[in-house]
Structure formats: structure tokens, C-alpha cells
Amino acid sequence: MRPSTSIPAISTTRAEADTLAPVDGLSWRRYERRVKRLDLARVRICRRCGRGRADLQGADGTSLVVPLDAVRARELERPGEIDDVPWLSTLVVGLLAAQHREVREVVLDVAEHGLRALVSFAHGEEIDVIACTAQEGIGLVVRSGVPLY
């Protein structure tokens, strides 16, 4: 068995971020104007195959559809119900809270091979960013109530 390795997170403070050279030529504050806040409008589930999709809506009418596997669709369809075992997203939010880290936001990002979610969490002035699948990111939004962009 191979020993587990630590996955590094991108870590910076807001002050450090303001001094970094922007990759796309935009400053940190101008980046905030380019992203759109999204809300989970509904989860649709196919009656035949069980797969689903998350319909996300912006205040300006922007919409985005994220495909979901059958199990994730059922999880997101009924977020307030208690299951026989807790979901991983519930555990992650709890572990971060126990370490005095707060999930701040989830940003959906188009990566080289598809859509991913960038999850930012804070510990004091330090901000860390980790990547996960778009489905996992939407699950974290449902469990923690943080904004989705």
C-alpha cells in the first residue's frame, strides 16, 4: 500500500492576491465583477435511467445545466432529509469548521477537460482554494449554503 500524500491547496491572503500579476490582465476586484451568482433552481431526474441534472439560474436570467449521476441527483433533490449515513460533503464542511475554516464560495470553472468547481475556504486572513468536480461543488453549496458563482 502506498502512503497517502498531501494534496497542496492554493493559499493566499486578500492582500497578497491584490499584489499578484493577474493571469488574464484583470485585477482581483475586476474579477469579482466578471463572475455571476448562481442559484440551484431545481434538480431534474430522468424516470427511465435515474440520472439527473442541476438547473442553475442567475439573477439576470443566465442559466447553466450540470449533469448529475443518479446518486448525486437524489442527494441534491432532497437536501433537508436525513439519510441512513452522512454524505461526504457534510463531513467535509464539519471537518473544516472543526479546524476553524469557513467555506466561503464555490466557483464553477471551465478547465481543460470540462467543468470543475473551485472551493474557497478561509482561516482568518488566509484563503485556500481547492478543486473538485462540479457535482461535488454543487453538493457543498447545498450542504453549506455558501454562494455559487
Higher pLDDT, 31 or 58: 58
Of 27-31, 72-76, 97-101, give the lowest mean pLDDT range: 27-31
**pLDDT given for residue 125 in this prediction:** 86
> How much is the pTM?
0.71
Q: What is the pLDDT of residues 99-120, one digit of tens each?
A: 999 899 999 998 888 899 999 9
Q: Could you tell me the three cell numbers for 147?
A: 454562494
Q: Could you tell me the three cell numbers for 141?
A: 453549496
Residues 6+ apart with CB under 8 A from 73: 43, 44, 45, 50, 51, 52, 53, 54
Q: Which residues in the chain belong to E strands, given as ranges?
A: 10-13, 38-45, 52-58, 63-68, 102-111, 114-123, 126-133
Higher pLDDT, 106 or 31: 106
